[in-house]
Amino acid sequence: MSTGMFESWTGDVLQIGPLYPFVGSEMILVIVGVVCWIGWHIWQWRMESHNYHDDLATLKVNDNMTKALRGEKVLRSM
Amino acid sequence: MSDQLAALTTIFTEFYYWVTVVFMFLIHIGFCMYEVGASRRKNHMHTLMKNTMVIPLVTVTFFFFGWWIYFALPNGPGITGPLLDAPWAEPWNELMGAHMGGSIEGGMDAESTAYWARINGVFWAAFLLFSWTAASIISGAVIERIRSGSFWLAAVLVGSCTWIIDAAWGWHPNGWMVQVLGYHDAYASGVIHAIAGGAALALLIHLGPRIGKFRADGTPRNIAPQNPWLITIGLFLIYTGFWGFYVACNIPIFDVQEGDGVFFSATNIYLAPTTLSAITFNFLMSLSGGLLATYIVSRGDAFWTYSGGLCGVIGASAGNDLYHPIQAMLIGGIVPIICYKLHFWVERKFKIDDAVGAVAVHGYGGFLGVVIAGFMLWGYPASPFYDVTINPLGNFIGAIIMFFVLGFVPCYILGAILKGAGVLRIPQEIELVGLDLSEYAARYADEEALQQAEIEAARAAGLLR
C-alpha cells in the first residue's frame, strides 16, 4: 500500500517522476483550489459587509459617534 | 542531470533563485511597514491586513493561472504567433509540484523534465514575488478609504493577470514587444512599476481623496505620516529586497556564445549578456542619484528623500544592465525630480490623493525610465535572437502599453464597476472614526469585562472591601 508512485529510492531516479501522493488527482485539486479561492472572496465580502453594518449600528447608539471621533472608548460585544 | 556540468548549472540556478525569493520577501515586509507608518493610528491594523492578504491571494491565483500566462502569451497571441504550449506551467501538470524528472505526458523529454522539476518552483516564486510587489504598490496609494474586498480584486487583477501579460509581451526573450518594437526594460521600470502606477492612478480617480484632504478652495492638506520611523525602516527594507529583485531578473549562468564555442555569463531576462557587477554598480549609483537629488528638491524631507532613492533606481532600471554607473546616477537623479514635481502638480490640479506617492515614484518613474532607455540605448540589439534594435519610439510605445493599456485601463474598468455597485469605498462614518473601530471596540469590551472579572476575583479573595 502506498499513496505515492514509488516505494523505494533504488533504481533509476529519473523514472520516479512525481513525489507527491495521489498522482492523477491534479485536476481535481485545481478545481478544489479554485473553488476555495472564489469561496474565500465571497465569504470575505459578506464578512466585511457585516463588520461595517455592525460598526454603523454601534455608532448610532447614544453618543458613540462623538466618542469615537474623539478617540474615546466605544464598546461593542463581538 | 546525468552530466555534471548540466547538473551544476541547474542546481546552482535553482539555489540562486531561491535566495532571491528570500531577499524579495523583504520588499513586502517593507511595504507593510511603510503603509502602516503612513496611515493614521485609527487605520493601522486594517492597513496592515489589507497588504498582508495580498500574499495568499496573489500566490494562489499566480499558481492557478499567472504562471501559465507568462509562457503562453509571448506572441500576444495573434500578433507574432499563436498561444504557446507551456505544460510545466499548467496548474494541473505534474511539474507544478515535487518532482524528480522523467518524461511526462505532453512530449517533454526526461532531461527537460529534470530541469523544470528543479527550476519551476523557484522561478515561479521569483515571478510571484514580483507579482506581490505590483499589487503592493497599489495598496499604499489607496489606504484609509478603500474597501479591502475591492482592493483584493484589483490586487489579483494586477498581480496575477495584467502585469504577467505585460511580462509575457515585453519581458520574455520571445515577447512580441521585444520582437516587433525592440522593447528593452531589463529591470522592470515599465513591466512592474509603470503598470502598477497606472493601475493605482485609475483606482484613485474612482476612489476620490480621503475626507479632509482638500480644503474648500481645493488646495491640499498634508496628512502627515503617523510614524516616520516605520516608513524609513520600511523603505530601507524595500531597498534591500530590491537587490534580490535585480538579481532575480537575471539568468545566472547561460551559454551566450553564438555558433562554435562556449562562453558562460549571466544574462538579463532577454538572455542577452550582462554581469552581476554591472547591475550592482548601477543599482547603487542610481539609488545614490535619487537620494542626492530628492534630498535637495524636497528640502531634506525624509519621506521624499527615501522615496526618491527608490524612484532613482526605478528610473534607471530599464537600462541598468548596460548603462555606465554615472549615467545611472544622473538618470536616477533626474527622474525623481520630475516625479516629485509631477506628484504635487497632479495632486493640486486633479485632486488625486495618492497617500504614499506611489503613482509618482512607480508610475511616472517607471514610464520615464522606459522612455529614457529608448534614447540612451538607441541602436543596441534588443535581443540575441531577433534582428531588432532598441529605439526611442519602440520604448515609448512600450511605456504607453505598460502604464495605460495594461495598467490604467483594466483597473479603471474594475474601479468603475465597483464604484457603480457602491462597494469601492468604505462607509463615510467608518472612514471618519477609523477602520480599526471593530478592533478597538471589541478589545475595549473585553478589557472592561476582564477588569470586572479581576475586581470580582479580588473581592472573592478578600483583597477588596
Q: Do A55 and B430 touch (CB under 8 A)?
A: yes
Q: Do A17 and B92 touch (CB under 8 A)?
A: no
In a domain, A63, yes or no: yes
Same domain as B60, residue B18:
yes
**pLDDT tens over chain B, length 465 residues:** 668 888 899 999 999 999 999 999 999 999 999 999 999 999 999 999 999 999 999 999 999 999 999 999 999 999 999 999 999 999 999 999 999 887 666 677 777 888 889 999 999 999 999 999 999 999 999 999 999 999 999 999 999 999 999 999 999 999 999 999 999 999 999 999 999 999 999 999 999 999 999 999 999 999 988 899 999 999 999 999 999 999 999 999 998 898 888 899 999 999 999 999 999 999 999 999 999 999 999 999 999 999 999 999 999 999 999 999 999 999 999 999 999 999 999 999 999 999 999 999 999 999 999 999 999 999 999 999 999 999 999 999 999 999 999 999 999 999 999 999 999 999 999 999 999 887 776 677 778 888 889 999 998 998 886
In a domain, A31, yes or no: yes
Identity of the residue in A30, A56, A77 whose CB atom sits nearest the CB atom of B445: A77
Identity of the residue in B61, B427, B442 whose CB atom sits nearest the CB atom of A76: B442
Q: For position A14, what pLDDT does the model report?
A: 78
Using a CB–CB cutoff of 8 Å, tell me whether A33 touches chain B: yes
Please tell me the distance in Å from B276's CA to the nearest CA on chain A: 33
Please tell me the distance in Å from A1's CA to the nearest CA on chain B: 20
Q: Do B437 and A37 touch (CB under 8 A)?
A: no
Using a CB–CB cutoff of 8 Å, tell me whether A31 touches chain B: no
| Residue B328: CATH number of its domain | 1.10.3430.10
Rounded Cα–Cα distance for residues B256 and B270 (Å): 11
In a domain, A12, yes or no: no
Rounded Cα–Cα distance for residues B120 and B117 (Å): 6
Same domain as B317, residue B450:
no
Output the average pLDDT for chain A: 89
Rounded Cα–Cα distance for residues B320 and B136 (Å): 23
Identity of the residue in B63, B99, B445 whose CB atom sits nearest the CB atom of A19: B99
In a domain, B428, yes or no: no
A-chain CB neighbours of B2 within 8 Å are 14
B-chain CB neighbours of A24 within 8 Å are none
Q: For position B381, what pLDDT does the model report?
A: 97
Identity of the residue in A15, A33, A71 whose CB atom sits nearest the CB atom of B60: A33
Name the residue range of residue B325's domain.
4-251+263-423
In a domain, B245, yes or no: yes
Q: For position A61, what pLDDT does the model report?
A: 86
Q: Mention every residue, 6+ apart, whose C-beta is less than 8 A from residue B324.
A: none
What strands, in cross-sheet order, belong to the sheet with B273-274?
B251-255, B264-267, B273-274
- Give which of B65, B433, B443 to mutate to test A binding, by max A Cβ within 10 Å: B433
In a domain, A1, yes or no: no
Using a CB–CB cutoff of 8 Å, tell me whether B240 touches chain A: no
Q: Are the C-beta atoms of residues B239 and B309 closer than 8 Å to each other?
A: yes
Q: Do B60 and A74 touch (CB under 8 A)?
A: no
In a domain, B258, yes or no: no
Q: How many CB atoms lie within 10 A of CB B41?
A: 13
Choose among B363, B365, B303: nearest CA to B333: B365
Q: Do A18 and B99 touch (CB under 8 A)?
A: yes
Backbone angles phi, psi at B274, to 5 degrees: -155, -175
The domain tally of chain A equals: 1
Q: For position B260, what pLDDT does the model report?
A: 83
Same domain as B233, residue B88:
yes
In a domain, B256, yes or no: no
Using a CB–CB cutoff of 8 Å, tell me whether B91 touches chain A: yes
Using a CB–CB cutoff of 8 Å, tell me whether A68 touches chain B: yes
Q: For position B446, what pLDDT does the model report?
A: 78
Q: Do B64 and A33 touch (CB under 8 A)?
A: yes
Tell me, what amino acid is at B224?
A
Using a CB–CB cutoff of 8 Å, tell me whether B420 touches chain A: no
In a domain, B429, yes or no: no
Closest-CA residue of A relative to B58 is A37
In a domain, B257, yes or no: no
Same domain as B395, residue B446:
no
Does the model's pTM come out above 0.90?
Answer: yes
Q: For position B37, what pLDDT does the model report?
A: 96
Q: In the numeric block, which cell numbers belong to residue B117?
A: 522539476
A78 confidence band (pLDDT: 50, 70, 90):
very low
Q: In the numeric block, which cell numbers belong to residue B253?
A: 549562468
Rounded Cα–Cα distance for residues B270 and B249 (Å): 10
Rounded Cα–Cα distance for residues B110 and B92 (Å): 19
In a domain, A19, yes or no: no
In a domain, A78, yes or no: no
Name the residue range of residue A54's domain.
24-69
The full length of chain B comes to: 465
A77 confidence band (pLDDT: 50, 70, 90):
low
Rounded Cα–Cα distance for residues B124 and B121 (Å): 5
Same domain as B447, residue B353:
no
In a domain, B279, yes or no: yes
**ipTM at complex level:** 0.93
Same domain as B136, residue B100:
yes
Same domain as B452, residue B408:
no
Same domain as B441, residue B354:
no
Using a CB–CB cutoff of 8 Å, tell me whether B98 touches chain A: yes
Please tell me the distance in Å from B426's CA to the nearest CA on chain A: 8
Same domain as B439, residue B418:
no
Using a CB–CB cutoff of 8 Å, tell me whether A65 touches chain B: yes
Q: Do A20 and B98 touch (CB under 8 A)?
A: yes
Q: Do A14 and B1 touch (CB under 8 A)?
A: yes
Same domain as B48, residue B181:
yes
In a domain, A74, yes or no: no
What secondary structure does DSSP assign to A32-77, as a single string? HHHHHHHHHHHHHHHHHHHHHHHHHHHHHSTTHHHHHHTT------
Q: Do B427 and A56 touch (CB under 8 A)?
A: yes
The domain tally of chain B equals: 2
Same domain as B368, residue B460:
no
Identity of the residue in B97, B442, B444 whose CB atom sits nearest the CB atom of A18: B97
Rounded Cα–Cα distance for residues B398 and A30 (Å): 34
Please tell me the distance in Å from B328's CA to the nearest CA on chain A: 42
In sign, the C-alpha dihedral spanning B342, B343, B344, B350 is: positive
In a domain, B397, yes or no: yes
Same domain as B313, residue B441:
no
In a domain, A65, yes or no: yes
Using a CB–CB cutoff of 8 Å, tell me whether A44 touches chain B: yes
Q: Are the C-beta atoms of residues B366 and B314 closer than 8 Å to each other?
A: yes
